[in-house]
C-alpha cells in the first residue's frame, strides 16, 4: 500500500469526469410554511424508524422494492410523504415542495485574470486524486497489480441538513483506500475477505471496538451508485441508531475509464511479467475518521463504581481506551511536590520517557484526585514517585487505569508497558 497526500482544489474537469458536477446530489424539499429545508429521503427514513405501519409497508415492499429511501424515485418519495402525511419537523405542516436535485459540491472561484474567473470545487471525496494520479504512482513506485493506494484528510460536502451530533458535517476527514486489481471478481473478493478479517482483528484487538456492535449491510441493487456493481456498508450501533461507519464499493474500471476519456491520457496497466495490458478494476473502502474515533470513544467510556481508600463507594469516570490510541500514555506524578528529591527523579523520568511517548507531569492535589484526572483523559499508566524511590533511586509504582492495580517496578521497565 502506498500513501498519497493531494490537494483540496483540483482542475474542475476531474469532477466532470467523475460525474460529481452533474449527479452528486440529494433530494431537497422545502416546507412552504416555515421554509425549513430537509432531505426527502432522511425525512422518510426518520418516519419509518418511528412508525411501525410505515416500517411494515416498506418491509413488505409496497412502495418500492428498495428498503432504503435514498434509492427511491422522486415520485415514490412524494407519494410516501403525502400518504403518511409526514409533517415538517419544525412547524408540523404537511405542505411542502416536490423533491428536487440539490448538488452537494462546494463551489468557489478561481480568478483567471482580473475580470474573468472559473468555477472550481472543494473536493467532495479524496478518491478522485488517486485515480488521476494512477499513472504517476505506477511510474514512481513501480507497484505491481494488485496494490492499494491510501489517502486521509479533508473532504467537503454542502449537506442540506448537517447535524445529528458529529454525524453529518460539511467538512470532514475522510480516509479512502483504492485497491487496484484485475477484473476477476473471484480473486478480488477473496483478497477483500482476507482484508476484512485483518481489519476486523485490528478494530477489535488494537482499538477495542465491540464486535457485537458491528454489522455488514449489502446495498440492494436499486441503492447502488451507478458506477458500482457491489457495495457493502459497515454499520456500528451508536447509542440511538445503527449508522454507517465505512463503505466498501466495487467501482469496476469506471473511474480510470472516465479519466482516460477526459484527459486523453493512457491509464492502462502493463503487467511486467505477462505483458498483458488492461485497465485495472478498483475496490474502495471509505471511512470518516472522526466517526471511527467516536465509536472507539463510545466503547471506551464508562462510569464505574469502586471502593476508595476510606472504604466508601465512589463513581469514577474512566475511558478504557486501548493504550495504542490513548493520546497520553504515561502520567508522571511525584507524590509530594515539596520533596526536592522526588521532583528531581520525576523530572528526569518525564524527560526520558517523553522522548518516545506523550506524557503528562502532574504534581497538583492529592494522589487520588490525580489518578481520577488521568482516568478521565484515558491515560493508561500512572507512574508515582514516592519516598522509596528516593531511597533506592531505582523504583517507582505503576498504576493500571483499568484494574487500578499498583505495582512496584524498576524505572528502566516503564517503557516496556507500551510494547
Ligand atoms: N468515495 C466514496 C465516498 O465518498 P460516501 O459513502 O459518500 O462514499 C464515504 O462517503 C464515507 O464518508 C461514509 O461512510 C461516511 O463515513 C463519510 N461521510 C460521507 N459524508 C459525510 C458527511 N457529510 N459527514 C461526515 N462523514 C461523511
Q: What is the pLDDT of residues 261-299, one digit of tens each?
A: 999 999 999 999 999 999 999 999 999 888 888 888 899
pLDDT given at position 330: 98
Question: Tens of pLDDT along 314-331?
Answer: 999 999 999 988 999 999
d(CA 345, CA 301): 33
Cα separation, 357 vs 63, in Å, equals 57
State the average pLDDT over residues 322-351.
Answer: 95
pLDDT at 101 exceeding the cut of 80: yes
**Distance (Å, whole) CA 363 – CA 373:** 12
Ligand 1 mean position to 302 CA, how many Å? 29
401 lines ligand 1 (CB under 6 A): no
Q: Is the C-beta atom of 291 inside 6 A of ligand 1?
A: yes
Confidence of residue 377 (pLDDT cuts 50, 70, 90): very high
Distance 287 CA to ligand 1 centre (A): 6
Closest protein CA for atom 21 of ligand 1: 168
Beta-carbon neighbour count of residue 227 at 10 Å? 17
163 C-alpha to center of ligand 1: Å?
A: 14
Least confident of 35-49, 177-191, 249-263: 177-191
Please tell me which residue, 280 or 68, carries the higher pLDDT value: 280
CA 155 – ligand 1 centroid, Å: 9
Model pTM score: 0.84
Look at residue 197 in the predicted model and tell me its pLDDT: 82
Mean pLDDT of the chain: 92
Give the alpha-carbon dihedral of 63, 66, 70, 75, to 10 degrees: -30
Confidence of residue 53 (pLDDT cuts 50, 70, 90): very high
Output the residue whose Cα is nearest ligand 1's atom 15: 288
The three-state secondary structure class of 412 is helix
SS3 content of the chain, % helix, strand, coil (to 5): 35, 30, 35
Distance CA 156, CA 122 (A): 6
| pLDDT above 80 for 164 | no
Q: Whose CA is nearest to atom 19 of ligand 1?
A: 288
Q: What is the 3-state secondary structure (H, E, C) of 280-348?
A: CEEEEEEEEHHHHHHHHHHHHEEEEEEECCCCCEEEEEEECCCCCCCCCCEEEEECCCCCHHHHHHHHH
Q: Where are the beta strands (DSSP E) in 157-308?
A: 171-181, 214-218, 230-237, 242-252, 269-270, 277-278, 281-288, 301-307
Which one, of 68, 109, 117, 77, lies nearest residue 96 by Cα?
Answer: 77
Question: Does the beta carbon of 247 sit less than 6 angstroms from any atom of ligand 1?
Answer: yes
Residue whose CA is at the smallest distance from ligand 1 atom 17: 288
Tell me, what's the pLDDT at 16?
95
Q: Which helix (H) or strand (E) holds 112?
A: strand 106-113
Amino acid at each position: 500500500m502506498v500513501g498519497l497526500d493531494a490537494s483540496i482544489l483540483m482542475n474542475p474537469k476531474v469532477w466532470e469526469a467523475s460525474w460529481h458536477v452533474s449527479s452528486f446530489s440529494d433530494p431537497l424539499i422545502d416546507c412552504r410554511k416555515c421554509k425549513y429545508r430537509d432531505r426527502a429521503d432522511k425525512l422518510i427514513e426518520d418516519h419509518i424508524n418511528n412508525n411501525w405501519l410505515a416500517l411494515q409497508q416498506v418491509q413488505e415492499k409496497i412502495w418500492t422494492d428498495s428498503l432504503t429511501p435514498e434509492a427511491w424515485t422522486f415520485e415514490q418519495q412524494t407519494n410516501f410523504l403525502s400518504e403518511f402525511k409526514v409533517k415538517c419537523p419544525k412547524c408540523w405542516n404537511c405542505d411542502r415542495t416536490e423533491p428536487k436535485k440539490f448538488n452537494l459540491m462546494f463551489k468557489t472561484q478561481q480568478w483567471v485574470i482580473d475580470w474573468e474567473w472559473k468555477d472550481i470545487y472543494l473536493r467532495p471525496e479524496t478518491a478522485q486524486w488517486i485515480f488521476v494520479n494512477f499513472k504517476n504512482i505506477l511510474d514512481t513506485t513501480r507497484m505491481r497489480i494488485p496494490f492499494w493506494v491510501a489517502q486521509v484528510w479533508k473532504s467537503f460536502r454542502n449537506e442540506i441538513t448537517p447535524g445529528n451530533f458529529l454525524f453529518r458535517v460539511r467538512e470532514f476527514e475522510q480516509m479512502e483506500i483504492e485497491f487496484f486489481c484485475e477484473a476477476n471478481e473471484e480473486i478480488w473478493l477473496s483478497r477483500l475477505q482476507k482484508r476484512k478479517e485483518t481489519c476486523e482483528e485490528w478494530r477489535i484487538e488494537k482499538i477495542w471496538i465491540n464486535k457485537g456492535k458491528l454489522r455488514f449491510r449489502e446495498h440492494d441493487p436499486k441503492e447502488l451508485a451507478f458506477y458500482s456493481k457491489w457495495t457493502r456498508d459497515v454499520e456500528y450501533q451508536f447509542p440511538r441508531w445503527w449508522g454507517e461507519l465505512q463503505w466498501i464499493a466495487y467501482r469496476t474500471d469506471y473511474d480510470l475509464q472516465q479519466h482516460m476519456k477526459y484527459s486523453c491520457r493512457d491509464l492502462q496497466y502493463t503487467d511486467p511479467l505477462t505483458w498483458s495490458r488492461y485497465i485495472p478494476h478498483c475496490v474502495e473502502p471509505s471511512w470518516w475518521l472522526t466517526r471511527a474515533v467516536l465509536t472507539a470513544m463510545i466503547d471506551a467510556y464508562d462510569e464505574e463504581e469502586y471502593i476508595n481508600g476510606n472504604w466508601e463507594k465512589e463513581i469514577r469516570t474512566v475511558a478504557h481506551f486501548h493504550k495504542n490510541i490513548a493520546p497520553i500514555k504515561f502520567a508522571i506524578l511525584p507524590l509530594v511536590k515539596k520533596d526536592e528529591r522526588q521532583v528531581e527523579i520525576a523530572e528526569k523520568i518525564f524527560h526520558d520517557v517523553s522522548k518516545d511517548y506523550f506524557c503528562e507531569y502532574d504534581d497538583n492535589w492529592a494522589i487520588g484526585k490525580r489518578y481520577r484526572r488521568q482516568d478521565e483523559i484515558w491515560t493508561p499508566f500512572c507512574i508515582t514517585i514516592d519516598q522509596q524511590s528516593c531511597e533506592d533511586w531505582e523504583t517507582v509504582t505503576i498504576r493500571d487505569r483499568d484494574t487500578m492495580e499498583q505495582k512496584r517496578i524498576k524505572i528502566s521497565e516503564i517503557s516496556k508497558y507500551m510494547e
